[in-house]
Structure 1
């Protein structure tokens, strides 16, 4: 009988969770700085990494990446540069990781379509706007700062060359701070596409003049404008309350002292587009080629403008993140729903699911397949029960065990 009970006990225990040789790496991990910000409820600003690997030459890329992170810290928020390192999506990079990425060769430009293959092959990838938005949704970071978003390419009505950034903005809830759309693109058609996707486009300032990356104006108008970081945060907060599943673009014009002459930029772009077409350069290689060509044609002035606008965007994005966190804190203090601050009872099941299932990120990679869930933003209602263990001691000399069940 003792043997029988021992066997039954052993068979009821779940096997330990071990990482097998063929198991894929975890979906994402946080840096210590970002994880700490999550647990302490600090505002976080996401940053892409293609600007490091494909947007600027070394060492300007490294200097700019570190400067942008420090600007965000100085404004009261925490930076989270996003990249894939050896198949793991990293939410936040250390200084050493940024240094390595700035000099690395063969880093894959990672949009949505590239994330799974890069992860499966355990490669290094630098996230584009679309790839970074996917990461911000997974990590529950509502605000993302970049230089400029992608768009509809010139002659896109014939080539169907449309950036995945636009579709991603249409199916995410992220607020993206940028300097509009690069003037190498068809800005008018890009704005039309964003409207079709349900993306709220606002300029930052007192006018609706939509910027064109290197220049303050593009000749097109945005439907809305926000005059301050607080107003932008209020738009984001309203979108959250309305459960909108599309993103927000806040287009910040480059500071006037760093803006370039529109005619000079247009000529440089047209010449580089013709050269790219002549060489047969297509797809995601077009943008870095043209940016490099424009920098050369302008004697490096466009690179200086690029650096100035991304730093300015970082200030605006950090300020919006700080203001949005204030609004969330007010909502949390006045909410009446049990365990779900600021969320109606109709959405309780969804909030519970996303809080527990889609935010688990930090892991012990040496031992376990399952991630450890940190203390993230928002309250979590835990419903559990008690397990009762029973121990049986047999005192009779002879015991018969019946195999019949009633």
Structure 2
């Protein structure tokens, strides 16, 4: 697989300057046009304002790209037929010359291959509800159990089985720390209702943990930094609970299964909260991007 790293990103990695990886699924599949392109540029600019280099990642015409120019971002945002690619899809996309936006697992893998240590996303995938029946678990978790990267996220998507996801991360050996909180966030909620064992209070402290990972050696495991959306910008918890319960009933009634479950539930939340869940999600992503850039600066200055 030929990895194409932009000149700006390549030079920054070589010089050990701060770089933040950004996924492209939110651009291609998470937002309507033309807002998706506006958000893509906004997130890259947010990284730059904190003193780091953004590296948005996607696959275009079978070539995995780490760092996109504006024209390439436009393709991801506006081109029909852009696929959604997990890490398992990368060899297929490369071999067939396909174009696709990268999910958490594919972005983390390509970022690590390019020498990038910090990655910002919205919410992780995880263990789905009714796992004992469906055996449905996001590929994100397994990939993080074998990739040395720091992922700044707002917890996991609230439509998932949060306690089961936390247990699975523990079983896999992936470290999870709350950022300035002892509660695990629920993406569009500041608190999923579950605690975390560790709290980190500054970008420098996160960078210290990253250095300790390297000094200790051992398995190539990720570090998950769970950064809650501000309570003033979260989705109203009562509204979330009511709409999610309705969404789960509708999902079962319509026989939605497998990979179709997550987009069905997320779309239901957006429509039945009149866009409030999307606004909360974007607030979470923006906060994660800013924090990731500050962590990358602290890591580069170590």
TM-score w.r.t. the length of structure 2 is 0.96
- Which residue of 1 is the match for residue 263 of structure 2? 288
Q: 2:188 aligns with which of 195, 214, 219?
A: 214
8 Å CA contact 1:46–1:80 kept in 2: the answer is: yes
| Residues in 2 aligned to 1:246 and 1:285: alpha-carbon distance in whole angstroms | 29
1:153 aligns with 2:128: yes
Deviation at 1:136, TM superposition (A): 1.6
SS at match of 1:309: helix
1:303 aligns with 2:270: no
| Residues in 2 aligned to 1:308 and 1:198: alpha-carbon distance in whole angstroms | 29
8 Å CA contact 1:55–1:291 kept in 2: the answer is: no
| Residues in 1 aligned to 2:12 and 2:264: alpha-carbon distance in whole angstroms | 37
Deviation at 1:279, TM superposition (A): 3.1
| Residues in 1 aligned to 2:187 and 2:150: alpha-carbon distance in whole angstroms | 18
Deviation at 1:289, TM superposition (A): 2.3
Between 132-141 and 184-193, report the one with greater CA deviation. Answer: 132-141
8 Å CA contact 2:179–2:201 kept in 1: the answer is: yes
8 Å CA contact 1:54–1:288 kept in 2: the answer is: no
SS at match of 1:220: strand
Deviation at 1:285, TM superposition (A): 2.9
- Which residue of 2 is the match for residue 141 of structure 1? 116
- Which residue of 1 is the match for residue 214 of structure 2? 240
- Which residue of 1 is the match for residue 176 of structure 2? 201
Higher share of residues assigned strand: 2
- Which residue of 1 is the match for residue 45 of structure 2? 70
8 Å CA contact 1:204–1:251 kept in 2: the answer is: yes
8 Å CA contact 2:13–2:116 kept in 1: the answer is: no
- Which residue of 2 is the match for residue 28 of structure 1? 3
8 Å CA contact 2:57–2:66 kept in 1: the answer is: yes
CA offsets, 1:240-294, max 9 Å, x none? 1112411110000001221111121122222223323333333333222222211
Larger Cα Rg: Structure 1 or Structure 2?
A: 1
8 Å CA contact 1:210–1:221 kept in 2: the answer is: yes
SS at match of 1:217: strand
Deviation at 1:55, TM superposition (A): 1.3
CA offsets, 1:21-74, max 9 Å, x none? xxxxx5210122212322333111001111111111112221111111000001
Within a 5 Å distance, the mapping from 1:359-370 to structure 2 comes to none
SS at match of 1:176: strand
Q: 1:47 aligns with which of 5, 11, 22?
A: 22
- Which residue of 2 is the match for residue 107 of structure 1? 82
| Residues in 2 aligned to 1:238 and 1:140: alpha-carbon distance in whole angstroms | 18
| Residues in 2 aligned to 1:100 and 1:290: alpha-carbon distance in whole angstroms | 27
Deviation at 1:108, TM superposition (A): 1.5
| Residues in 2 aligned to 1:309 and 1:318: alpha-carbon distance in whole angstroms | 14
Unaligned residue ranges in structure 1 (runs of 5+): 1-25, 328-406
1:38 aligns with 2:8: no
1:96 aligns with 2:64: no
| Residues in 1 aligned to 2:37 and 2:56: alpha-carbon distance in whole angstroms | 12
SS at match of 1:54: helix
8 Å CA contact 1:43–1:77 kept in 2: the answer is: yes
Q: Please report the RMSD computed on the Cα atoms of aligned residues, expressed in angstroms.
A: 1.2
TM-score w.r.t. the length of structure 1 is 0.72
Between 171-180 and 265-274, report the one with greater CA deviation. Answer: 265-274
1:86 aligns with 2:48: no
